[in-house]
Amino acid sequence: MVITRSQHRQLFVQEVQRLSLIEMEPADISTSSRSTIYRPVFTSSMEEQFMSTLAKEQVKTLTKFSGSDSEDVILWLKNVEEVFDRALIQPSNKYLAIQSYLTDAALKWFRFNKSNIPDWSSFTIAIVKPYQPSLHQTLLKMEQRHQLPGESVMEYYYDKLQLCTQADPNMSSAMVIHYLTKGLSDLLLPHVIRRHPGTPNDFLNIAQDEERILFTLNGLSYASTNEPGHYLNEDIQMDRLVNVVKHPINVHDRSFNQQHHQTLPPPLMNLPTTPWPSSVRRPYSHHRLSTSTSRQCYACSEYQDGGTSTKKKKPSLPSSSSSIYVPVNHKPTMILVDTGAAISLIHDNTLSTMRHKPIVSCSLNEVHTANSGFISLLGIVKLTVQINHLDTQVDAYVTRDLICPMILGRDWIQQNYVNINFCTNRIYLYNGLASAPLLPIPRSEPVIMSLSDSIVIPPFHQQFFYGYVPINSLNDALFTPNIALQHGRMVLLPHSLLHIRDNRGVISIINNTRHSKLIPRNTPLGFVSSSTTTADLNVITTALMNFPDFSSSSPSSLSCNHCGVHFSTELTLYDHLFYCCNKDFTCTTQNITPLVQHIDDPVKRIKVYLMLHHYYQLFDDSCLQGITCSPQCAINTHSQAPLAEHPRRVSHLNREIINNEVKKLLANGIIEPSNSPWASPVVIVKKSDGSPRFCIDYRRLNSITQKDVYPLPRIDDVIERLNGSHIFSKLDLRSGYFQGPLAPDERAKTAFTTPDGLWEFTRLPQGLKNSPSVFQRLMNQTLGSLRWDICLAYLDDIVVYSPSFDRHLLDVKQVCQALHASNFKLNYNKCAFFQREISFLGHKVNADGCSPTDDNIRSIVQFPTPQSSKAAHSFLQMVGFYRKFISRFAQISAPLNKFTCKGFPFIWTETEQSAFNQLKDAITSPAVLILPDPSQPYIIRTDASSSIAGYFFSA
């Protein structure tokens, strides 16, 4: 049978009409929590395709469950089951699909318990047990659930009903009504109690009737601003409650809506004092009914009282901001309505908290801001902003550069004919068809900015450092310095505008005296206030007068921050911190103290200790969290099929070594259980000292991996760069590669097998072909412009070099600051600070020049006489690393060069033995190479014959 398009349309309309006649009754307390899903019989392929597409879109809206304390496993499981049932997914497919909606702790739980969860029904029972809140928590949540100011009865009723069901599925109707009544708004409570509801359904009907009456009497909102809020969302940070109606009753009929949509005024961008056009009638719902006899004229804003007109005194400043708090995709969100923004924006973190459609890529990559800055855009997403009963659509650009959750710009304002009225402190859409209250402007109180760690400022120096405030983020913050600190310590702190990020801002202090200045920890530096508001100077002045007098050794300024003991001098305080007391960082202090013991000058030793202690997190060996950077890509195998090798047999001793290493890596989050089709074997090799080393044999994986050609620095260039320096510091990263995150799509390729399972790396592993190049690129990005100026990095080894102590103190601080900003950890056992001579990349470097290290010389001298071509080749490579220190190296080593050819027969004669001994003798007394001085002239020496010419540089 052939069906035309008109017949398709007619069949579809008939089905919609039939569905609209189905009456939906409110849920009763006795109703089961499992929803009954209507399964229609499709009458056409077009209708079936439409329902299939609708089901796919619903499945995309499902949120993932991580198992955190803030998530409700029962509600999440109920939503999943409803969506799966609407999509007609079979139980066996539900079990397979649900694995894609688990993440973090929940995913790990499922992987470890997967063998005990064979099907969907078992999963629904098993996942509730570990993540279901306790009865005490559920009862407490139910007791504390009160109707929010401006919240509709419908939303409060079903939310409270769900909590009652979770606490006791067999709770009686009388107890349910008791809890519903207990949390009801004070404005509705006496009216509902008076009518004695017998069932929860009666309670809902009665409360809605009373709600409609209050709406009719008081306009769109009935909640009092003085009503206390008992059940506040922690994410809402406001000074006082505002009235927000989430789902109010629609008091306008359809004809009212159609009339207002047909006669839409132009966009209203002016201030509310502008008179309304005479052709447009102002909606009645803009103002509440007043019990007073005074009436206001909407045209001139005058009040009439008993026939006498009086002008209303207008405030000088608006009491409300341009922000509103309304649902976005059913998630209450604080939104800034910005008439100066051309587009609408939403922060990526805000978007992640709500269900939304997929983010679509856009042609815009960044937009300009009013202060000549840039905002990077990640894409665009379609959102629904609910203003009362009216759903509005907006295409919002997603970004990570906002300091507020969301901005509605002129695109949304003009589309919905928005008027911001500061007289009524509300915004209106479509001539008052819908409105929302403006949030109050929070009172801008100045806050104290203080130091988190002690600092020492050298004579005639200016230092920049972080000051900490109890404000997470603030642009153009006004900093007012502490006068008492400036007079007492004889330092200068300028007034400045700061950008507060992560509770800190950059402050400078100038020491223009001949003596070093100590600023103790927790010293109040001044006050920070918003530059957009007029700060009360009397408040700041009074607070500054209450600061301690820093000109004397007061107990507050010379007291231990850990034990509270007071000291008379700075020296005794630092001796106390250095040798005795540091309760908060005991382990870290023990790690730092040996690094400064070699400094003879006590003043210098204190400066170095304070500087290192400021970045004590670098020396924390309790955990290895990984650095804060984008995941690295190191394994480009194109479309190569996965390679897998079986685990190799290991001895009992090596098995214990492997298990201990896996436990250690797992505890630090470096590896995780894997289901990868890739697999490489584990091998145990011996170090030079005989201790075992845990390694992964990635040779087969490396054979199909494309080479990353990012260069490593040349060792000779690094050594020559140290010329002219007199003081050095060497920093060694702790498990360097393991601090770099690995891209999620490449982790499966790093899988390795052990006798007890399959694991994969979440960090950059050792043994990959591209690990050195990737890590070197990461180090170059971290150090940035500091490289080749004050420091150099060769993989996980960093050297800092300076001509003097004071300069080196600043240089090391900059390097530590860069490493700390990326959350690197140092191996303090291999670090050396403020040394006159260091060993770096196999060379002993000091102010005079460089020479081979004693350990390497000892290895060469103790090398036994070769018994094979391979051993002879190894010796030649060892001594060849230092060929620049051996005069006539090519001539001496000529008899041994033949062993570098593969397959050359091993014949050892007196000639080879003589060359072997001469190279050993030459390396035992190598000349110290003086590095060239670029400031001195070079000498070019030339020589020529009838067939060739040559030259060399000398200084």
* pLDDT tens readout for residues 642-691: 888 888 888 888 888 888 888 888 888 888 898 889 999 999 888 767 77
Q: Would you say residue 408 has pLDDT above 90?
A: yes
Q: To the nearest whole percent, how much of the chain has pLDDT over 70?
A: 73
Q: Would you say residue 393 has pLDDT above 90?
A: yes
Most confidently predicted of 116-120, 536-540, 616-620, 740-744: 740-744
pLDDT at 491: 85
Q: Would you say residue 602 has pLDDT above 90?
A: no
Q: Beta-carbon neighbour count of residue 573 at 10 Å?
A: 22
**Span 754-795, pLDDT tens digits:** 888 899 998 889 888 888 988 888 888 888 878 888 888 988
Beta-carbon contacts of residue 146 (< 8 Å; ≥ 6 apart): 183, 184, 229, 230, 231
Burial status of residue 25 (CB atoms within 10 A of its CB: 0-12, 13-18, 19 or more): exposed
- Residue ranges, comma separated, of all CATH 2.40.70.10 domains in the chain are 267-273+286-443
Residue located via tokens 């000291």: 567
Q: Which of 376, 385, 384, 327 is nearest to 347 (CA)?
A: 376
- Residue ranges, comma separated, of all CATH 3.30.70.270 domains in the chain are 850-924
Q: To the nearest whole percent, how much of the chain has pLDDT over 90?
A: 6
Tokens coding 831: 């670090």
pLDDT at 412: 92
Q: Beta-carbon neighbour count of residue 68 at 10 Å?
A: 10
pLDDT at 406: 92
Q: How far apart are CA 507 and CA 491, in angstroms?
A: 13
Instruction: Provide the pLDDT confidence category of residue 392 given band limits of 50, 70 and 90.
Output: very high
Q: Beta-carbon neighbour count of residue 550 at 10 Å?
A: 22
Min mean pLDDT across 207-221, 529-543, 760-774, 877-891 is at 529-543
Instruction: Provide the pLDDT confidence category of residue 848 given band limits of 50, 70 and 90.
Output: confident
Contact call for residues 544 and 527 (beta carbons, < 8 A): yes
Beta-carbon contacts of residue 928 (< 8 Å; ≥ 6 apart): 848, 849, 850, 851
Q: Would you say residue 809 has pLDDT above 60?
A: yes
**Span 534-555, pLDDT tens digits:** 444 444 444 444 444 443 333 3
> 448-464 as b/e, with b when 16 or more CB fall inside 10 Å?
bbbbebbbbbbeebebe
Torsion of CA 215, 216, 220, 223, to 10 degrees: -40
Q: Which of 667, 663, 687 is nearest to 754 (CA)?
A: 663
Better-predicted residue by pLDDT, 327 or 527:
327
Q: Coil, strand or helix: which one is 729?
A: strand
pLDDT at 70: 65
Handedness of CA 928, 931, 933, 939 (dihedral sign): positive
Q: How far apart are CA 940 and CA 38, in angstroms?
A: 94
CA 692 vs. chain centroid, Å, equals: 37
pLDDT at 21: 65
Q: How far apart are CA 733 and CA 146, in angstroms?
A: 53
Q: Would you say residue 238 has pLDDT above 70?
A: no
Q: Coil, strand or helix: which one is 740?
A: coil
pTM above 0.75, yes or no: no
Q: Coil, strand or helix: which one is 458?
A: coil
Q: Would you say residue 55 has pLDDT above 90?
A: no
Contact call for residues 269 and 341 (beta carbons, < 8 A): no
Better-predicted residue by pLDDT, 90 or 612:
612
Q: How many residues does the chain have?
A: 955
Q: How far apart are CA 735 and CA 763, in angstroms?
A: 11
Average of pLDDT values for 818-841? Answer: 87
Q: How far apart are CA 159 and CA 146, in angstroms?
A: 10
Q: Coil, strand or helix: which one is 611?
A: helix
Amino acid present at 567: F
Q: Coil, strand or helix: which one is 346?
A: strand
Q: What angle do CA 54, 60, 63 make, to 5 degrees?
A: 135
Q: How far apart are CA 97 and CA 397, in angstroms?
A: 30
Q: Beta-carbon neighbour count of residue 804 at 10 Å?
A: 10
Average of pLDDT values for 108-118? Answer: 79
**Span 138-194, pLDDT tens digits:** 777 777 788 877 788 888 888 888 888 877 778 888 888 888 888 888 788 888 888
Tokens coding 229: 């809020």
Q: How far apart are CA 932 and CA 938, in angstroms?
A: 9
pLDDT at 561: 45
pLDDT at 232: 32
Instruction: Provide the pLDDT confidence category of residue 283 given band limits of 50, 70 and 90.
Output: very low
Contact call for residues 151 and 246 (beta carbons, < 8 A): yes
Average of pLDDT values for 431-439? Answer: 82
Burial status of residue 290 (CB atoms within 10 A of its CB: 0-12, 13-18, 19 or more): exposed
Most confidently predicted of 27-41, 61-75, 623-637: 623-637
Side-chain-side CA neighbours of residue 554 (13 Å): 14
Q: Would you say residue 377 has pLDDT above 70?
A: yes
Q: How far apart are CA 486 and CA 250, in angstroms?
A: 62
Task: State the CATH architecture for 447-545.
Answer: Distorted Sandwich (2.70)
Better-predicted residue by pLDDT, 861 or 532:
861
DSSP letter (8 states) at residue 284: G
pLDDT at 281: 34
Q: Would you say residue 889 has pLDDT above 80?
A: yes
Beta-carbon contacts of residue 36 (< 8 Å; ≥ 6 apart): none
Beta-carbon contacts of residue 414 (< 8 Å; ≥ 6 apart): 267
- Residue ranges, comma separated, of all CATH 2.70.40.10 domains in the chain are 447-545
pLDDT at 46: 66
Which residues on neighbouring strands pair with residue 526, listed in sequence order?
449, 481
> 846-884 as b/e, with b when 16 or more CB fall inside 10 Å?
beebbbbbeebbeebeebeebeebeebbebbeebbebbe
Q: Which of 44, 40, 63, 36 is nearest to 5 (CA)?
A: 44
CA 832 vs. chain centroid, Å, equals: 32
Q: Would you say residue 384 has pLDDT above 90?
A: yes
- Find out if CATH 3.40.920.10 is the number for domain 850-924: no
Beta-carbon contacts of residue 777 (< 8 Å; ≥ 6 apart): 710
Q: How far apart are CA 466 and CA 813, in angstroms?
A: 13
Q: How far apart are CA 686 and CA 114, in angstroms?
A: 38
Q: Would you say residue 584 has pLDDT above 90?
A: no
Q: Which of 556, 573, 296, 268 is nearest to 432 (CA)?
A: 268
Q: How far apart are CA 127 and CA 109, in angstroms?
A: 9
Mean pLDDT of all residues in the chain? 74
Instruction: Provide the pLDDT confidence category of residue 933 given band limits of 50, 70 and 90.
Output: low
Q: How far apart are CA 564 and CA 811, in angstroms?
A: 33
Which residues on neighbouring strands pair with residue 504, listed in sequence order?
468, 501
**Span 450-509, pLDDT tens digits:** 887 788 888 878 888 888 887 777 777 888 888 778 777 788 888 887 878 778 888 888
Q: How far apart are CA 160 and CA 143, in angstroms?
A: 9
Task: State the CATH architecture for 267-273+286-443.
Answer: Beta Barrel (2.40)
Contact call for residues 425 and 407 (beta carbons, < 8 A): no
Contact call for residues 899 and 876 (beta carbons, < 8 A): yes
Q: Would you say residue 239 has pLDDT above 80?
A: no
Contact call for residues 407 and 375 (beta carbons, < 8 A): no
Q: Which of 201, 432, 436, 256 is nearest to 332 (CA)?
A: 436
pLDDT at 401: 78
Amino acid present at 365: N
Q: Would you say residue 325 has pLDDT above 80?
A: yes
* DSSP string for residues in 870-897: HHHHHHHHHHHTTGGGSTTHHHHTGGGG
**Span 898-927, pLDDT tens digits:** 888 887 888 888 888 888 888 888 887 755
Q: Which of 546, 511, 510, 544 is nearest to 528 (CA)?
A: 544
Beta-carbon contacts of residue 307 (< 8 Å; ≥ 6 apart): none
Q: Coil, strand or helix: which one is 474?
A: strand
Residue located via tokens 């949120």: 63
pLDDT at 935: 66
Which residues on neighbouring strands pair with residue 519, listed in sequence order?
455
